[in-house]
Amino acid sequence: MEVSQDFSLASKHSASGLRMTSTELTAYAVISFIVVLWCHYKWNRRHFEKLASKMTGPPAYPIIGAGLEFVGTPQQVMERIIKLYDIYGSEPFKVWMGTSLGVTISKPEDVQIVLNSSKALEKDQFYKFFKNTVGEGLFSAPVHKWRRHRRLITPVFNAKLLDQFFPVFNEKNRILTRNLRKELGKTQPFDLWDYIAPTTLNLICQNAMGYNLDSHSDIGSEFEKAMIKASELDSVRIYKPWLFPNIFFSLFLRLQGQSNVFKTLKKLPLKMINEKKEVFAQKKIIKETSVIYNTEEKKKNLKVFLDTLFELNEAGANFSDNDILDEVVTMMIGGSETSAITLCFSLLLLAIHPDIQSKVYDEIYDVFGDGDQTITTEDTTKLVYLEQVLKETLRLFPVLPVVFRELQDDIKIISGNHVLPKGTTCYIAPLFIHRDCDLYPNPLNFNPENFSQENISKRHKYSFIAFSGGPRGCIGSKYAMLSMKVMMSTFLRNYSVHTSCTFNDIKLKLDLLLRSANGYPVTIQTRDRRPSYKLN
C-alpha cells in the first residue's frame, strides 16, 4: 500500500515538473515565430546572398549594410564613391544599402544589356526619396506612369520646337554677356555659377513655360537656392538607412531647420502654372468665339511645353494638377541645372587649358568671323570641336554620376556570367565608365579628341552615357546640347576665360547631381577677335 502511494506521489511530482507556465509558453511561441520568420526571410533572399557571395565589395553590417562607408559631407561621400571604384575596379561589385543588394555595373556591354532591358525600366526605390524635390515626373516616375507620360510628351521635342527656341537663346545670352562686363578688369576670381545658373533657368522658364524671369529674378534665385538645398537633403537618405522612414526624415528636417524647403521649391513652378493656366483659358475663349484667329497673334504666342500639357489634358490625357507640377519641376531642373553644371565645368576646364580654349575660339571665328550676328540652328552644326569639348566635359563630370535601376526579373550580364536576380538594384555609374582607362587612355586628362569621329568609332556605344541610354534615356539631350553650344560660343566670342586652378584643385560633391564643391572660380578678359591659329 505504501509503495503504491509513493509511486503515485512520484508521478505527480514528475508531471508537475514537465508542466510549463504561461510565460514560458509565450516565450517559446515568440522564439519559434521569430525563427520561422528568419528562415522565411533567408529563404526569400537566398538568390541575393548566393550572388553576393561571388562578388567583392565594401563590408556590410546588419540593417545598415555598407551605410558607414557613406557617412560625411557631400564632398566626402563623393570621394568615397570614387575610392570604391579605385579599390574594386570595373568588374561588377556588391554594395549593400541597408538590406537591399546593389550591384555596380561599369562594363559597357553589361550597361547596354541592363539599360535596354524591359526588365530594368523601373527606377529603384531610392528614387522615392527624391519625390519631395521632383515628384513623379519623367525622371523618377514608376514605369506605368512613365510609359504613358513619355508617349504623350516625346512628340513635343521635335525639330520645329527646337528651332523656335533660338530667338530666346540669343536674347538671354546677350543679357548674360552684358551682365558679365562688371567682372572685366578684376583680378579677383568670380564664380561662373552666379551668372550661368540664372541664365539657364531663365532659358528653360521662357522656352518651356513661356515665363520671363528677367523681371522676377528674386523668385528665380529663391527657387535655385531651394532646389540645391532640397536635392542635397533628399540625397542624404540614399546612403543613411536610418533616415529611410519618413518620420525620421521629417525629424531630421526640423533639426536642420529646413522644414519649409520643399514648399519654397514649389513656389515658382506653381506661380508659372497658375498664370499660364489663366492665359490658356483666355486663349481658348478667344478661339471659340472668333472665326478668324490673328496670324500675328499666333506668332507672338508660340506654343510652349506647358501649353502642350494643357492641350493634352483637353484631349483626354488626364494629367492631375500634381502630374503637371511634377513634370514642370522635372523640366526646370533637367533643363537648367544640368546644363548650368556642364557649362561651368566646361568653361573652367577651358580656363585651365588655354591651348584648347584657343582651338575652340578658332572654330567659332571660322563660323562667325568677328561679327555679332545671331546664331542659327545651322551654325550649331558647324561647331564640331565645341561639341567635342562639351562631351569631354560630360565624360569627366557627368551630372548624373550614378543611375539606379531595380530589376523586375532576372537578367544575365556578360561579366562573370552573373545572373542578377529579380529585386537587385543595378548601380550604373557613368562616372566609373567614363574614367575606365581601357576605354579612354589617360582618363583624367581633359582631351576633346576623345570625341573625334575616329575615336568614337573605336569604342562601344555605351562607353559614353552622360544622357543615360535605352528607352529611359534623357528626353531633352538635343535641347541641352543646342542651348550649351549657343551659350559657350556666345561667351567665348566676347570673353576669354582664365583661372589659377588646376584640374587637381577641382573637388566634387554629390546631391541629386554632381557638382564642384568649391565653385567655378575664373576671371575674364575682353576677347581679341582674331583667330590665334587656323584649324587644320
What is the DSSP track for 190-250?
A: EETHHHHHHHHHHHHHHHHH----TT-HHHHHHHHHHHHHHHHHHHHTTT-GGG-SHHHHH
How high is the pLDDT of residue 8?
54
Secondary structure (3-state) at 345: helix
How high is the pLDDT of residue 536?
43
Is residue 57 within 8 A of residue 93, CB to CB? The reply is yes
- pLDDT tens digit at each of 536 positions of the chain: 554 555 455 555 554 555 668 787 787 777 877 887 777 666 777 888 888 889 999 998 887 888 778 877 888 888 888 898 889 988 999 998 878 889 999 999 999 999 999 999 988 777 888 888 888 888 888 898 889 888 888 877 776 778 888 899 999 999 999 999 999 989 999 999 999 999 999 999 998 888 888 766 788 889 999 988 888 888 888 777 788 888 888 898 888 888 888 999 999 999 999 988 888 878 767 665 554 445 444 445 567 888 888 888 888 888 888 999 999 999 898 889 999 999 999 999 999 999 999 999 999 999 998 877 789 889 999 999 999 999 999 999 999 888 889 999 999 999 989 999 999 999 998 999 999 999 999 999 999 999 999 999 999 999 999 999 999 988 888 899 999 999 999 999 999 999 999 999 999 998 888 999 999 999 999 987 677 655 44
**DSSP secondary structure of 270-328:** HHHHHHHHHHHHHHHHHHHH-SS--HHHHHHS---HHHHHHHHHHTT----HHHHHHHH
In order of 137, 389, 425, the CA distances from 410 in angstroms are 27, 39, 11
Question: Structural domains in the chain?
Answer: 45-534 (1.10.630.10)
Secondary structure (3-state) at 170: helix
Count other Cβ atoms within 10 Å, centred on residue 121.
Answer: 19
Taking the C-alpha atoms of residue 468 and residue 447, their distance in angstroms, rounded to an integer, is 21
Q: Which residues are annotated as a binding site?
A: 474
Taking the C-alpha atoms of residue 343 and residue 488, their distance in angstroms, rounded to an integer, is 7
Taking the C-alpha atoms of residue 204 and residue 209, their distance in angstroms, rounded to an integer, is 7
Q: Which residues are annotated as a binding site for heme?
A: 474
pTM of the model: 0.87
How high is the pLDDT of residue 2?
52
What b/e sequence results for 145-164 when a residue is b if at least 16 CB atoms lie within 10 Å of its CB, and e otherwise? ebeebeebbeebeeeebbee
Taking the C-alpha atoms of residue 191 and residue 177, their distance in angstroms, rounded to an integer, is 15
C-alpha cell at 290: 472668333
Taking the C-alpha atoms of residue 126 and residue 100, their distance in angstroms, rounded to an integer, is 10
C-alpha cell at 253: 528636417
The residue among 429, 453, 451 whose CA lies nearest residue 440 is 451
Taking the C-alpha atoms of residue 345 and residue 347, their distance in angstroms, rounded to an integer, is 6
Count other Cβ atoms within 10 Å, centred on residue 38.
Answer: 10
Taking the C-alpha atoms of residue 480 and residue 391, their distance in angstroms, rounded to an integer, is 11
Q: Which residue has the cell 542651348?
A: 483
Count other Cβ atoms within 10 Å, centred on residue 497.
Answer: 22
Taking the C-alpha atoms of residue 11 and residue 3, their distance in angstroms, rounded to an integer, is 12
How high is the pLDDT of residue 177?
94
Taking the C-alpha atoms of residue 4 and residue 177, their distance in angstroms, rounded to an integer, is 113
How high is the pLDDT of residue 100?
85
Sheet strands (E) in 64-130: 93-97, 100-105
How high is the pLDDT of residue 295?
47
HEC profile for 122-160?
CECHHHHHHHHHHCCCCCCCCHHHHHHHHHHHHHHCCHH
Count other Cβ atoms within 10 Å, centred on residue 210.
Answer: 19
